[in-house]
Amino acid sequence: MTESFPSKVFTVEEVNRLIGTMETVMAEIERLGNQVERHTMQLQILDALWGPKLLDGENPDHAEFTEHQAGVDRAVERIQGLVLDEILARGIRFPPGGLKYGLLDFPTTLDGRCVYLCWKRGESSVDQWHEITGGFSGRRPVTSEQERRMGI
C-alpha cells in the first residue's frame, strides 16, 4: 500500500511561526465551546421545567428557550467556521480529541514518510512529533537532526 502525502507539509520553523495564530484560534474555540455549554445547561433546565410544553409559543419561557437555542447554533457555526477556515484550510489536521484537549497535527515528512508535528495548546513551540498512527500518546521529541530532515 502506498502512503498518500498531504498537499501541504510543514517544517518546524513554519509551524512555530503559526503557533501564536493557532493559540488565538484555539482560545476562541474554547470560549465558544464554553458558550455552547452554558446555553445547553439553560436549555436542559428549561426542558426539565416544561418538557414538550416549552415548544409552545405561548409558554412564558419559550422566548428564553429560542434565545438559548440560537446561542448554541451561532456558537457551533462559528466553531465550525474556525476549524474549517483557520485550521483545515491551512492543511493542519484536527485529530480526535483535538477540540477537547487543544491538539493540532501538522503534516510533515521525515525520511520520505509522512509523520505529524504535534502541538498542544499552551506549548510555546512545536517540539514533538508522532507517526501517522501514533497519536498523542506516541509523541517523541524532535531532535535537531530530525528537524533538518522534516518537511523536505
In a domain, 28, yes or no: yes
Percent of the chain exceeding pLDDT 70 equals 96
Q: Is the pLDDT of residue 147 over 50?
A: yes
Percent of the chain exceeding pLDDT 90 equals 84
In a domain, 4, yes or no: no
In a domain, 129, yes or no: yes
Higher-pLDDT residue of 36, 4? 36
Express each pLDDT in 37-88 by its tens digit. Answer: 999 999 999 999 999 999 999 999 999 999 999 999 999 999 999 999 999 9
In a domain, 45, yes or no: yes
151 Cβ contact list (under 8 Å, min separation 6): 9, 10, 11, 12, 14, 108, 109
Domain extent, residue 42, equals 12-149
* Grid cell of 81 as nine digits: 467556521
pTM of the model as a whole: 0.86
- Identify the pLDDT of residue 99: 86
Q: Which residue has the cell 451561532?
A: 74
* Side-chain-facing half-sphere of 134: CA atoms under 13 Å: 16
Confidence class of residue 5 from pLDDT cuts 50, 70 and 90?
low
Tell me how many domains the chain contains. 1
In a domain, 108, yes or no: yes
Higher-pLDDT residue of 2, 82? 82
In a domain, 3, yes or no: no
Q: What is the mean pLDDT of the chain?
A: 93
* Grid cell of 104 as nine digits: 493540532
Q: Is the pLDDT of residue 137 over 70?
A: yes
